[in-house]
């Protein structure tokens, strides 16, 4: 019986941390999220909607003008993109569990926490960058649009658009990471939508500041509510970024190893969210 220990003969140079692999994985997860059938299907629906809109010339009597495009992008980002990103990110995150691929992944050097971080990075690099590009397009169009129903979005309002889409995706990663049972996608979706509607609904006298705490855009153009005139759009954007970071901390806290460090980080982020939440009012 031979008793000599063997040593690995890998064709690559090993690094001290798994961070580079996590970044490569993040790029791969971004592609997986964007290639999700949800996105592919919905892009087809949007293209159809654009085609129909132009054909029927009801929504856009003058065709796809700058104003129509500006409105359309804003409408899509505010109404659909967050929920779709949530669903796509949830499906990608839970795919290993649903298909039984976890054991192979669990024995790799890139551990579960790094894989969770890579999924969060994937949300930012995938839907996040696409939304940033669309928002930049809106910013360019904003200089020349003459909208019937209000002014163009301010910079702080535009910044909120990619943040809420990224937030939707991060919430998808968070729920799939913690709620490891079939049907967690619709459960998380109901919590996301109903929570947003409940918190963000039209203010009553006593709680005029409440809608600011909804994980959603406070753009005047979109909400058409007078409460938005009394707070800070920039601080609301900061508040939304804080919620995104809180979701990332929630994903990283799933693993027990070295949890105290991430608990401290989460406390710091929570303080930021509280500060921004107060400052936005």
Partner 1 sequence: MTATVQVTELTKRFNRTQALAGVTTNLTSGVTGLLGPNGAGKTTLLRILATVLAPDGGSVRTLGLDPTKSTERTQIRRSLGYLPQEPGFQRGFSAFEFVDYIAILKEFNRARERHDEVRRVLDAVDLSSVSGKRVRALSGGMRRRVALAAALLGDPALLVLDEPTAGLDPEQRLRFREMVSQAGEGRAVVLSTHQTEDVAALCQDVVVLHEGRVRFQGTPTELASVANGHVWFASERDPAATIAWRTSEGLHRHLGEPRHGAQLVEPTLEDGYLLLIGRRIEAVA
Measured between alpha carbons, how far is residue 32 from residues 85, 127, 128, 179 in Å?
12, 11, 13, 21
Residue in the structure block whose two tokens are 């790094």: 114
Instruction: Tell which one of 12, 149, 181, 183 touches partner 1 (CB under 8 A).
Output: 12
Q: Is the four-CA dihedral 214, 215, 220, 224 of positive or negative sign?
A: negative
Q: Nearest approach, Cβ of 20 to partner 1 (angstroms)?
A: 5
From the CB of residue 209, how many other CB atoms can be counted at a distance below 10 Å?
15
Instruction: Tell which one of 1, 61, 149, 183 touches partner 1 (CB under 8 A).
Output: 1
Asked if 145 and 152 touch (Cβ cutoff 8 Å), the reply is yes
State which residue, 73 or 91, has the beta carbon closest to partner 1: 91
Instruction: Tell which one of 55, 101, 151, 197 touches partner 1 (CB under 8 A).
Output: 101
Q: Nearest approach, Cβ of 21 to partner 1 (angstroms)?
A: 4
Instruction: Tell which one of 54, 59, 65, 102 touches partner 1 (CB under 8 A).
Output: 102
Nearest of 231, 198, 196 to residue 216 by alpha carbon: 196
Instruction: Tell which one of 50, 76, 96, 281 touches partner 1 (CB under 8 A).
Output: 96
Residue 144 binds to partner 1 (criterion: CB under 8 A) = no
State which residue, 148 or 257, has the beta carbon closest to partner 1: 257
**Binding pattern to partner 1, positions 76-95, x when CB under 8 A?**
-------------------x
Stretch that binds partner 1, among 1-9, 39-47, 195-203, 215-223 (CB under 8 A): 1-9
Residue 182 binds to partner 1 (criterion: CB under 8 A) = no
* Burial group, residue 175, by CB count within 10 angstroms (0-12, 13-18, 19+): buried
Token output for 138: 């809106």
Q: Nearest approach, Cβ of 96 to partner 1 (angstroms)?
A: 6
Stretch that binds partner 1, among 107-115, 167-175, 190-198, 233-241 (CB under 8 A): 107-115
Instruction: Tell which one of 58, 61, 62, 99 touches partner 1 (CB under 8 A).
Output: 99
Residue 24 binds to partner 1 (criterion: CB under 8 A) = yes
Q: Nearest approach, Cβ of 190 to partner 1 (angstroms)?
A: 24
Residue 5 binds to partner 1 (criterion: CB under 8 A) = yes
Stretch that binds partner 1, among 6-14, 125-133, 195-203, 210-218 (CB under 8 A): 6-14
Q: Nearest approach, Cβ of 33 to partner 1 (angstroms)?
A: 13
From the CB of residue 34, how many other CB atoms can be counted at a distance below 10 Å?
19
State which residue, 4 or 149, has the beta carbon closest to partner 1: 4
Nearest of 251, 122, 259, 108 to residue 176 by alpha carbon: 251
Cα–Cα distance for residue pair 145/155, rounded to 1 Å = 15
Residue in the structure block whose two tokens are 């892009």: 43
Would residue 9 be called left, alpha or beta, if left means φ above 0 and alpha means ψ between -120 and 50 degrees?
Answer: beta
Asked if 158 and 234 touch (Cβ cutoff 8 Å), the reply is no
């Amino acid at each position: 019986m031979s008793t000599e220990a063997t040593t690995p003969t890998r064709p690559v140079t090993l690094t001290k941390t798994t961070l580079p692999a996590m970044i490569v994985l993040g790029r791969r997860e971004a592609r997986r999220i964007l290639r999700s059938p949800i996105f592919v299907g919905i892009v087809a629906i949007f293209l159809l909607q654009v085609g129909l809109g132009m054909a029927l010339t009801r929504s856009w009597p003058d065709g796809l003008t700058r104003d129509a495009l500006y409105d359309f992008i804003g409408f899509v980002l505010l109404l659909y993109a967050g929920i779709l990103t949530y669903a796509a990110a949830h499906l990608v995150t839970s795919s290993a569990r649903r298909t039984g691929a976890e054991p192979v992944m669990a024995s790799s050097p890139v551990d579960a926490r790094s894989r969770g971080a890579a999924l969060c990075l994937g949300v930012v690099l995938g839907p996040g960058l696409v939304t940033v590009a669309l928002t930049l397009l809106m910013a360019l169009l904003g200089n020349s649009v003459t909208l019937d129903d209000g002014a163009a979005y301010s910079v702080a309002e535009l910044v909120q658009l990619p943040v809420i889409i990224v937030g939707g995706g991060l919430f998808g990663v968070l729920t799939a990471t913690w709620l490891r049972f079939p049907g967690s996608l619709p459960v998380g979706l109901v919590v996301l939508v109903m929570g947003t509607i409940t918190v963000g609904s039209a203010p009553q006298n006593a709680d005029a500041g409440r809608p600011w705490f909804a994980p959603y855009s406070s753009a005047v153009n979109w909400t058409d509510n007078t409460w938005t005139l009394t707070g800070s759009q920039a601080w609301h954007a900061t508040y939304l970024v804080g919620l995104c970071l809180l979701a990332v901390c929630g994903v990283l806290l799933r693993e027990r190893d070295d949890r105290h460090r991430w608990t401290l980080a989460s406390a710091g982020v929570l303080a930021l969210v509280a500060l921004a939440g107060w400052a936005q009012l």
